[in-house]
């Protein structure tokens, strides 16, 4: 059922008080195709909105906001040590990770507590603590917005990169993901190369951690570092960690010996939060928008901030980082 002049404040984790011309929840692929046909006939712009955890509404949306609510988790193949699990796009990501752990299907534990839906997870190849979606990805099913036809995408088809996929480039706004499949293991393979996880496990006095222990450690770390959207509006990491050439990094290292960086093949990934903190923005505010006190990579809504305020803050931070370091910060959130 179409809802006119629908409020979106409860549908985006920033808590921005935007509205849309029409809103529709769909619970199946057939409903999704019907909605696409309606949008075409009425010549309505279309925005697909999942958990709203990576979006900034800079204004009201003059068109149809489509919310995929498809549910369901199933095991498509069980080869003993390896299983293929399919989850519908409307499933909550963290709940899906928890479900897999409860079934003894491992590989996603480092991605615990990431907000959003399963359907949104491949679009930006979500990642945390040494693991990305692409590491466990099998395939996905999506509906073409133009034709309404279903298409299967393999790992290669998705062209995953750092916080990137073909759905953010050549096929941006071309498909709506309905189901995602993952290849998981029934044998625990722990990934603890990030110091925060190892430190958390040690502090808990655990000598032989399990995947569930890793998940609990990740949840605890994220809860300490990142604000709960239910308490203070935010979209998680607002900027991507920039990747620069080795020669540019060498020059920066001379000028800023304490700079935080990680090898990225022949290039170097910088910690965007550290760059922002060095410009003095950590904990500061710009109107009702601000930079989180515990993590400079996170912009927050301190209460009643508009999308324009958040974008002005983001642009000012970008300018300051570029002026100080010569590094361009790219916004990770989607701006509407």
Cβ atoms of residues 100 and 108 within 8 Å: yes
Q: How far apart are CA 260 and CA 249, in angstroms?
A: 10
Cβ atoms of residues 148 and 79 within 8 Å: no
State the CB neighbour count (10 A cutoff) for residue 322. Answer: 14
Nearest CA-CA partner of 56 in 316, 321, 298, 328: 298
Cβ atoms of residues 107 and 136 within 8 Å: yes
Give the neighbor-by-neighbor strand order of the sheet with 19-26.
3-7, 19-26, 61-68, 46-48
Cβ atoms of residues 116 and 133 within 8 Å: no
Nearest CA-CA partner of 178 in 64, 90, 108: 90
Q: How far apart are CA 239 and CA 315, in angstroms?
A: 11
Nearest CA-CA partner of 301 in 241, 252, 242, 238: 238
Q: How far apart are CA 227 and CA 197, in angstroms?
A: 19
Catalytic residues: 163, 237, 332
Cβ atoms of residues 90 and 52 within 8 Å: no
Cα separations in angstroms, 276 against 1, 183, 237, 239, 281: 44, 37, 12, 10, 6
Residues 6+ apart with CB under 8 A from 78: none
Cβ atoms of residues 51 and 69 within 8 Å: no
In sequence order, what are the beta bridge partners of 301? Answer: 233, 289
Degrees, nearest 5: CA angle 8-16-224: 115
């Amino acid at each position: 059922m179409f809802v006119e002049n629908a409020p979106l404040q409860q549908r985006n984790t920033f808590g921005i008080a935007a509205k849309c011309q029409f809103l529709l929840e769909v619970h199946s692929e057939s409903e999704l195709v019907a909605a696409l046909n309606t949008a075409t006939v009425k010549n309505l712009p279309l925005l697909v909105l999942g958990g709203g955890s990576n979006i900034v509404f800079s204004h009201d949306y003059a068109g149809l906001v489509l919310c995929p609510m498809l549910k369901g988790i199933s095991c498509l193949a069980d080869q003993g040590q390896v299983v293929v699990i399919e989850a519908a796009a409307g499933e909550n990501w963290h709940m899906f990770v928890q479900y897999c752990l409860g079934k003894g299907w491992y590989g996603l534990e480092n991605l615990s507590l990431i907000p959003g839906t399963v359907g949104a997870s491949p679009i930006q190849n979500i990642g945390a603590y040494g693991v990305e979606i692409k590491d466990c990805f099998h395939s996905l099913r999506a509906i073409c917005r133009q034709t309404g036809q279903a298409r299967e995408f393999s790992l290669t088809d998705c062209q995953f990169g750092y916080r990137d996929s073909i759905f953010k480039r050549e096929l941006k706004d071309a498909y709506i993901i309905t189901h995602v499949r993952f290849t998981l293991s029934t044998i625990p393979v722990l990934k603890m190369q990030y110091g925060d996880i190892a430190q958390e496990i040690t502090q808990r006095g655990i000598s032989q951690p399990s995947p569930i222990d890793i998940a609990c450690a990740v949840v605890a770390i994220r809860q300490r570092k990142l604000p709960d959207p239910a308490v203070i509006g935010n979209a998680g990491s607002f900027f991507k960690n920039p990747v620069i050439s080795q020669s540019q990094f060498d020059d920066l290292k001379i000028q800023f010996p304490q700079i935080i960086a990680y090898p990225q093949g022949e290039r170097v990934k910088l910690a965007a939060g550290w760059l922002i903190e060095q410009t003095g923005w950590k904990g500061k505010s710009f109107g009702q928008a601000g930079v989180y006190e515990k993590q400079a990579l996170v912009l927050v809504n301190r209460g009643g901030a508009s999308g324009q305020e958040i974008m002005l803050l983001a642009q000012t931070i970008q300018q300051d980082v570029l002026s100080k370091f010569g590094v361009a910060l790219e916004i990770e959130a989607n701006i509407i």
